[in-house]
Chain A
Amino acid sequence: MVDLFLQQVLNGLTLGGVYSLVALGLTVVYGIMAVPNFAHGAFYMVGAFAAFYLTSRFGLNYWAAMAAALAMLAERLVFRPLRNAPGLSPMIAAIGLMLFLQAGAQALWGTDFQRMSPPWPGVIEWSGVIAPIQWLLIIGGAFGLVLQLFLHHTATGATILAVAQNREGAALMGIDPRKVGMLTFGISGALAAVAAALYAPINLIYPAMGQIVILSLRPQGLFALEARTS
Chain B
Amino acid sequence: MKNSCSFGWLALFALGLVLPLLVHNDYSLTVMSTAYIFALATVGLNLITGYTGQFNLAHGGFMAIGAYTVGILTVDHGVPFWAAFALSGVVCVVLGFFVGILSLRLRGNYFSIFTLCVGYIIFLVIEKWDSLTHGVVGIIGINAPPGIGPITFDSPRSLYYLTLAFLALGMWLMHRIVDSLLGHTFVAIRNSENLAQALGIDLMSNKLLAFLISTFYAGIAGGLYAGFVRFLGPDLASIDHTFDMTMYVVVGGIGTLAGPLIGALAVPWITQYLQFMQDYRFLVFGPLLIVLLIFLPNGLVGLYISARRRLSDAHVRAASRGDGHA
Q: Which A residues are closer than 8 A to B by beta carbons? A: 30, 36, 77-78, 81-82, 85-89, 91-93, 95-104, 106-107, 111, 211, 215, 218-219, 222
Contact = CB atoms under 8 A, between A and B. Distances in A.
B110 A222 contact: yes
Given A89-B297, A218-B117, 17 more contacts: A36-B112, A78-B294, A82-B293, A87-B108, A87-B109, A91-B109, A91-B112, A92-B293, A93-B294, A95-B243, A95-B289, A96-B285, A97-B286, A97-B290, A99-B289, A100-B287, A103-B279
A30 B286 CA distance: 21
24 contacts: A77-B290, A85-B293, A86-B297, A88-B53, A88-B254, A89-B297, A91-B55, A92-B246, A92-B289, A93-B293, A93-B294, A95-B246, A96-B288, A99-B282, A99-B285, A99-B286, A103-B282, A103-B283, A106-B279, A106-B280, A111-B279, A215-B116, A218-B116, A219-B113
Contacts of A85: 293-294, 297
Contacts of B293: 82, 85, 89, 92-93, 96
B294 A82 contact: yes
A222 B53 CA distance: 20
Contact of A100 (B108, B286, B294): B286
Nearest to B244: A99
Contacts of A100: 282-283, 285-287, 290
A95 B243 CA distance: 8
Contact of B283 (A87, A88, A98, A104): A104
A91 B294 CA distance: 12
**B108, B110, B286: which has the most chain A beta carbons within 10 Å?**
B286
A78 B291 CA distance: 8
A91 B288 CA distance: 15
B49 interface: yes
A148 B38 CA distance: 47
Contacts, number: 85
A78 B108 CA distance: 20
**A36, A85, A100, A106: which has the most chain B beta carbons within 10 Å?**
A100
Contacts of A30: 109
